[in-house]
Structure 1
Amino acid sequence: MPAHAGAAIMKLAPKYEYPENLQPTRRKAIWLERITFAYLLSVVAVMYLVMGASQAMKAAWLEDSLSLIPPLSFLIAIRLVRRAPSKTFPFGFHRASTIAYLSSSLALFLMGAYLMYDSSMALLKQEKPTIPTSYIFGHPIWMGWIMIGVLVYSGLPAAILGRMKLPLARKLNDKALYADAAMNAADWQTAAAAIVGIIGIGFGLWWADAAAALFISFSIIKDGFSNLKDSGAQLLDRTPDPLGSDGNELRQALRERLQAIGWIDTADLRLREVGHLVFGEAFVTLTGSRPGDDQIAEAERTLRDADWRIGDVTLAIGHSSHSPQSDAGL
């Protein structure tokens, strides 16, 4: 007899698809992220051509360059999460969205720290940037006006795209998309700060440019740190904190569903975030004899049907002392 004969078959998590009513939202999010990526590529290219020696323009260019990472990460992750679980990845690929969230957050935080250092050195060394005058079709034009026009182009469309993506991120419970949308929505602040720095150079205030870049770096570090903290907590299996809802309310709703089943006496749950979904275990005690496998499978299906964000919850049948009593989370 072969060595593997009679071996138990590994139970895989159910293959997940967004519910039918969220498919249009998913498609719209993908469409907007593709537009965002193409738009940001154009911003990065144009800004590189005109930034000159301005610290504020350099800071804005670097931030826009980093802004390419979140939409690209989202587009890759949203394809991965649809893959069916396998023996190698029995829980599926849902953490791909969390990895995308973490990578963009880390890049943002590190670049913000670099910009803070670079801008502080420029202030300490009293570097005095200049913005030259160029001739376009024979007419002298101060390049500062061109820079300001590019900054307006980098700020306003991004803010509009960000505000369009925020409600989609909440509906899809996708924190990588939410962080990207929030960054886009706040891009006008970066553009405004850089414009102030350029105007300051025009009035001979050499320090205004580096000060504007320093302000931008604080904004980048703040976004990077908050997103890094949240994505790290997800990887550490934090108690669910879904966008636009209360994780404790979700847990209570699932508990009530279980306790409504006739053969379950008491129930409690231990849940964790896995990408945009919630996985976990349900600890139940029985009113009588042990139920059949079909009844257990039906109870697990009942939990998955309670909320589209429930990826997989496994029933653990035992004594009430097994039930987790702590609500502690990060």
Structure 2
Amino acid sequence: MNLNYKERERLSTISSIVSIIANALLAILKIGIGFFTNSMAILADGLDTATDILTSVMTLIAGKISNKPPDIEHPYGHERAETIATKIVSLIIMYAGIEVFTNSIKRLINHDANIDNLLFVVIISAISVVVKYSLYKYRLYIGKKINSNATIADALNMRNDVFTSSSVLIGILVLYFTGLWWIDSVLAIFVSLMILKTGFEQFMESSSELMESSPELKELYELVANCSCKTAKAQNPHKIRARKFGHRYFVDMHIELPPEMTVKEANEICAELEKRIKEKNPAIKDIIIHVEPYGNAEKECFGLSIDNIKHMKGE
């Protein structure tokens, strides 16, 4: 869905505010219950939820920055703000995973399982699971709708929180019925590894985008090559380069046209090719097409050719 800047900013802002309010209420409840019941598990879960407030605030700020139109200082736009926010969020996710892991190990070593008023812990854990799952689905929907990596990263963090709260809930229930004090710590360790995995994946994805090597660019290269080959009189699309800026893409490319063609005719063919590509992928913000005559022999030191793209496809 190709949304304009104002609509993207509106949806991003609303979802971030909903997330901030819900997480703030959950964090207060879980941290309060943690101190009241002496439950380290629910206290740690509350601290993890508190970090979500920070990530949502970062996503909100990044959304406002990235939705600004291009200006003199940022001629490509401000979409990379979302990439930076995604990297920061990934570091916060990994930090939360390490905290959960180390605290769980300490609990195992210290045989710490003295929890009072287990019913309160069970209730708030169950509430947290429901609220976190709802927030995860909501933020993921909005992130995909506005094509925001930062919002999607925040949603995946909330999915991890569902696992965290679920492990606390299961651990407390098992502890209540069986007396196996170590169960919730073992589950928490498993969840912490899941959190670290997600954080690492988000970190690597944002790093790839900053290095202009996003995985989805492969499909974009194939689209540009296919459209070029189907455009009348256009031959040998090469030096194709694409870069991702948040939810937008920029494409540079070279094509060969008949040497006797006028500038006006060449411009019309390029305009047709640009239109065809953008119709297939509205997320492409701009395409720069350099025209060369048939048989123009140049040493290609950068960009992709048809042969490169076929090799990527395994042909």
Sort the TM-score into its range (normalised by shorter chain): 0.7 to 0.9
CA RMSD of aligned residues (A): 3.1
Helix, strand or coil: the match of 1:315?
strand
Quick check: 1:287 aligned with 2:258?
yes
Residues 211-220 or 275-284, more deviating: 211-220
What residue in structure 1 maps to residue 122 of structure 2?
Answer: 148
Helix, strand or coil: the match of 1:313?
strand
Following the alignment from structure 1 to structure 2, what is the Cα–Cα distance between the partners of residues 154 and 43?
Answer: 7
CA distance 1:207–1:239, shift in 2 (3 Å): closer
Helix, strand or coil: the match of 1:206?
coil
Deviations 1:207-229 (A, max 9, x none): 23432332331221121111111
Residues 270-279 or 67-76, more deviating: 67-76
Aligned with 1:181 (options 155, 178, 192) = 155
Following the alignment from structure 2 to structure 1, what is the Cα–Cα distance between the partners of residues 256 and 232?
Answer: 11
In the alignment, is the contact (CA less than 8 A) between 2:31 and 2:47 conserved in 1?
no
Q: In the TM superposition, what is the alpha-carbon distance from 1:103 to its structure 2 partner?
A: 0.7
Quick check: 1:71 aligned with 2:46?
no
Amino acid at match of 1:272: R
TM-score by length of 2: 0.80
TM-score by length of 1: 0.77
In the alignment, is the contact (CA less than 8 A) between 1:277 and 1:309 conserved in 2?
yes
In the alignment, is the contact (CA less than 8 A) between 1:159 and 1:185 conserved in 2?
yes
In the alignment, is the contact (CA less than 8 A) between 1:166 and 1:178 conserved in 2?
yes
Following the alignment from structure 2 to structure 1, what is the Cα–Cα distance between the partners of residues 125 and 114?
Answer: 18
Deviations 1:39-97 (A, max 9, x none): 00100111111113433223312321222233222222221122222332221111011
CA distance 1:69–1:299, shift in 2 (3 Å): farther
Following the alignment from structure 2 to structure 1, what is the Cα–Cα distance between the partners of residues 168 and 55?
Answer: 22
Gaps of 5+ in 1: 1-16, 133-141, 242-246
Following the alignment from structure 1 to structure 2, what is the Cα–Cα distance between the partners of residues 85 and 69?
Answer: 27
Deviations 1:279-329 (A, max 9, x none): 231122222257359658736852445422102222233446535244599
Q: Give matches, 1:113-262, under 5 Å.
A: 113-124=98-109, 126-132=110-116, 142=117, 144-202=118-176, 203-241=178-216, 247-262=217-232
Aligned with 1:39 (options 9, 14, 22) = 22
Quick check: 1:98 aligned with 2:66?
no
Q: In the TM superposition, what is the alpha-carbon distance from 1:29 to its structure 2 partner?
A: 4.7
Following the alignment from structure 1 to structure 2, what is the Cα–Cα distance between the partners of residues 285 and 191?
Answer: 59
Helix, strand or coil: the match of 1:311?
strand
Following the alignment from structure 1 to structure 2, what is the Cα–Cα distance between the partners of residues 320 and 163?
Answer: 52
Following the alignment from structure 2 to structure 1, what is the Cα–Cα distance between the partners of residues 227 and 15?
Answer: 37
In the alignment, is the contact (CA less than 8 A) between 1:109 and 1:225 conserved in 2?
yes
Aligned pair count reads 296
Residues 30-39 or 281-290, more deviating: 281-290
Amino acid at match of 1:277: R
Following the alignment from structure 1 to structure 2, what is the Cα–Cα distance between the partners of residues 88 and 300?
Answer: 29
Following the alignment from structure 1 to structure 2, what is the Cα–Cα distance between the partners of residues 299 and 251?
Answer: 18
CA distance 1:301–1:50, shift in 2 (3 Å): same
Aligned with 1:264 (options 234, 248, 262) = 234
Following the alignment from structure 1 to structure 2, what is the Cα–Cα distance between the partners of residues 287 and 257?
Answer: 18
Gaps of 5+ in 2: none
What percent identity do the matched residue pairs reach? 21
Following the alignment from structure 2 to structure 1, what is the Cα–Cα distance between the partners of residues 194 and 214?
Answer: 28
CA distance 1:19–1:192, shift in 2 (3 Å): closer
* Bigger fraction of residues in helix: 2
Following the alignment from structure 1 to structure 2, what is the Cα–Cα distance between the partners of residues 61 and 301?
Answer: 51
What residue in structure 1 maps to residue 284 of structure 2?
Answer: 310
Amino acid at match of 1:177: T
